[in-house]
Structure 1
Amino acid sequence: MSFFTCDICDANEDKLASGELRALPPIFTKFGRQQKFFGPAVTLKVFEENALVRSKLESPGNGQVLVIDGGGSFRCALVGGNLASLAQQNGWAGIIVNGCVRDTEELNACNIGIRALASFPVRSAKRASGEQDVRISIAGVAIKPGDWIYADADGVLAASENLLK
């Protein structure tokens, strides 16, 4: 299905005003071959470790978007080439990381959409700590499990319902 985030915003000004539609700040760098992706959100809250990220991406994605609140850390990467490949194999539509990624050449070879704050070569710890399926906040924008995520060249949106019906 084709969409443009600008058109979604224009058609839903009432939802922008009410907070049912929220635009994330323009803080993300694009990775992956899919420049445009959308789907229901699956949320994780982790800090400088990615065992839960791997666990989630090993499961069927069914066209969902994994939204990871990594606390905005620039000290390690939460997603790399192996995890992006897993996401592609398991049918995830995209990944949004409030933190860093690595293996950018591998990420850019995957047929998946990825947004992250930056790339950084240091890998994360593997402690299996964190929370899943919880309300998170990225740069002051709330995202809860089941929200619909829309990402394209103009930005990233989160909506309380599917706006492409």
Structure 2
Amino acid sequence: MGFKTCDLCDEHADKLQIAEPVFGDYGGDISFFGPISTLKAFEDNSLVRKALDEKGEGRVLVIDGGASMRCAMLGDQLAALAEKNGWAGVIVNGCIRDSAAIAETGIGVKALGVHPLKTVKRNEGQRDIVVRFAGVSFVPGQIVYCDEDGLIISEQPLF
């Protein structure tokens, strides 16, 4: 289903959270949306793999990586896993790697930047908690809408 975040803002601005414009677009789908699932982990993407190994059912995985610019929380293998398992997209408060391969996937990916180094694996982090970055709160179950113009969050589906 096609949508524009600009149009959704025009119609529903009083009901939306609008993220600060800090994200770049890296996935094959620039426009994507879905219910939020969250993960909070710093420089450790062990739980990212576990989350994306689940059936996505059109959800968007929001990863609060603490805005670390020292390693990548998502790479091409995890992006391919997300696509295979039906995730609509991934939003990373941090970096990704393998950006050219991720651009070939059929999911949306937004991140702060790219970095070639992978994370450590300590199996640390938290799942499905409220995380806050880019001036908005990502609440599990709320709906996030993303396109080339931005990222917005609604408590209820907008269409």
Q: Scaled by the length of structure 2, what TM-score is found? A: 0.98
Please list every run of at least 4 consecutive aligned residues from structure 1 whose deviation after the TM superposition is greater than 3 angstroms: none
1:79 is matched with 74
Residues 112-144 of structure 1, C-alpha deviations (whole Å, 9 max, x = no match): 100000000010011110100100001231111
- What is the match of residue 43 of structure 1? 38
Tell me by how many angstroms 1:107 deviates: 0.5
Task: Give the C-alpha shift of residue 96 in structure 1.
Answer: 0.2
Match of 2:86 in 1: 91
Partner of residue 5, structure 1: 5
CA displacement 1:25-66 (0-9 Å, x = unmatched):
111110111010000000001100000000000110000000
Q: Distance in 2 between matches of 1:133 and 1:112?
A: 20
User: Does residue 27 of structure 1 match 2:19?
Assistant: no
Distance 1:87 1:57 in 2: 5
Shift of 1:14: 2.4
Deviation per residue, 1:81-119 (Å, 9 max, x gap): 000000000000000000000011111111110000000
> In structure 1, what is the Cα distance between the partners aligned to 2:92 and 2:100?
17
Letter in 2 for 1:144: V
Give the Cα separation in 2 of the matches to 1:151 and 1:119. 19
Confirm or deny: 8 A CA contact 2:21 2:134 kept in the other structure: no
Which runs of 5 or more structure 1 residues have no equivalent in the other structure?
A: 16-20
CA distance in 1, matches of 2:135, 2:119: 24
**Matching residue within 111, 117, 120 for 2:115:** 120
Give the corresponding residue for 1:18. none
Q: Which runs of 5+ in 2 are unaligned?
A: none
Matches within 5 A, 1:103-142: 103-142=98-137
Distance 2:95 2:13 in 1: 32
3-state SS of paired residue (2:103): helix
Q: How many equivalent residue pairs?
A: 159
- Percent of residue pairs bearing the same amino acid type: 48
Distance across 2 between alignment mates of 1:140 and 1:3: 23
**Residues in 2 aligned to 1:38 and 1:162: alpha-carbon distance in whole angstroms:** 10
Q: TM-score, normalised by structure 1?
A: 0.94
**What is the CA–CA distance in structure 2 between the aligned matches of 1:51 and 1:99, rounded to whole Å?**
15
Equivalent residue letter for 1:61: G
